[in-house]
């Protein structure tokens, strides 16, 4: 396994490799866990050469967010990548990707509206900008992302389609702890009591799934959301619920009524909640 630090050298290498090798790519912000490793495993199965990028992207953090606190441990990540069969790690510095005078950004203007954007203005401009840059540098045939970041997945697929990016996007299932908590680099910040309460996010999602999946259910979305809200707020360490939302999983159009749901519609139930200073997101997709 080799570590690459410059965009120029990486781009020159991948231009040669992709002539006769299938390149698989997993972009990350590091502090890898089993969720990331599941993405790498998919890339490993589907490609000849696997690239992982590790870059904590300052553009997707707001002024009051945790860029400086975001966990970093490159030596640990390097070992995990080596064990997972990664061929190359692209590990650039901030000035490498955003040199002095940098002024070009990417905006997706439909899927990037609402949900996380309401809480984190400018977040998806940072995401789409860095992902497109990484696509141009690594030049992958396939790129693997996680379902846990559901809105991000839709935004990236839309950007890739709209801008004719020559990579196939694969969205992999969320990897969970035994108690249902979605794996996240931020889980390390939870106190013992917060960690005990955090799985209630998944319990609330499962409640919503059961109700939506029941064809005989005759109440509406607002009632389900209120019950989910009560379930989460019953935990003492939950300080705020940012949103609970029902959306079309393809377009992210808001679903306000069961009348908007037709056969084979994919429904995304997503939520975000805070445990003190730790903000967690989760979601589940249902076919009704």
Q: How many CA atoms lie within 13 A of 63 on its CB side?
A: 0
Catalytic residue among 33, 36, 123, 141: 36
Distance (Å, whole) CA 88 – CA 68: 26
Residue 68: CB partners within 8 Å, gap ≥ 6?
none
**Residues forming a β-bridge with 284:** 269
Strand spans (E) along 60-150: 88-90, 142-146
- Tell me 254's DSSP state: B
Report whether 143 contacts 153 (CB < 8 A). no
**Tokens matching residue 142:** 């396939």
Q: Check if 141 is active-site.
A: no
DSSP 164: T
* Contacts of 284-287 spanning 24+ positions with Cβ under 8 A: 284/205, 284/206, 284/208, 284/209, 285/147, 285/150, 285/249, 286/209, 286/212, 286/213
Specify whether the CB–CB gap between 31 and 77 falls below 8 A.
Answer: yes
Positions marked catalytic:
36
């Amino acid at each position: 396994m080799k570590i690459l630090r410059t965009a120029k050298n990486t781009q020159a290498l991948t231009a040669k490799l992709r002539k006769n090798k299938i390149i698989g790519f997993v972009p990350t912000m590091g502090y890898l866990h089993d969720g990331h490793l599941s993405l790498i495993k998919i890339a490993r199965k589907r490609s000849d050469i696997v690239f992982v990028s590790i870059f904590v992207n300052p553009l997707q953090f707001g002024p009051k967010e945790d860029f400086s606190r975001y966990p970093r441990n490159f030596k640990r990540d390097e070992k995990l990548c080596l064990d997972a069969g990664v061929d190359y790690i692209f590990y650039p510095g901030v000035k490498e990707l955003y040199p002095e005078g940098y002024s070009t950004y990417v905006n997706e203007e439909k899927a990037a509206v609402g949900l996380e954007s309401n809480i984190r203005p400018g977040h998806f401009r940072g995401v789409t900008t860095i992902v497109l840059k990484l696509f141009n540098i690594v030049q992958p045939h396939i790129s693997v992302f996680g379902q846990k970041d559901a809105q991000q997945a839709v935004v990236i697929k839309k950007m890739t389609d709209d801008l004719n990016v020559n990579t196939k996007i694969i969205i992999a299932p969320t990897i969970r702890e035994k108690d249902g908590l979605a794996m996240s680099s931020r889980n390390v910040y939870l106190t013992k009591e917060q960690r005990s309460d955090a799985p209630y996010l998944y319990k609330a999602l499962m409640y919503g799934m059961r109700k939506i999946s029941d064809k005989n259910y005759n109440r509406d979305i607002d009632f389900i959301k209120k019950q989910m809200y009560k379930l989460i707020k019953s935990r003492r360490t939950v300080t705020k619920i940012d949103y609970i939302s029902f959306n079309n999983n393809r377009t992210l159009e808001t679903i306000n009524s069961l009348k908007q749901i037709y056969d084979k519609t994919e429904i995304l139930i997503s939520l975000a909640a805070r445990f003190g200073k730790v903000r967690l997101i989760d979601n589940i997709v249902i076919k009704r």
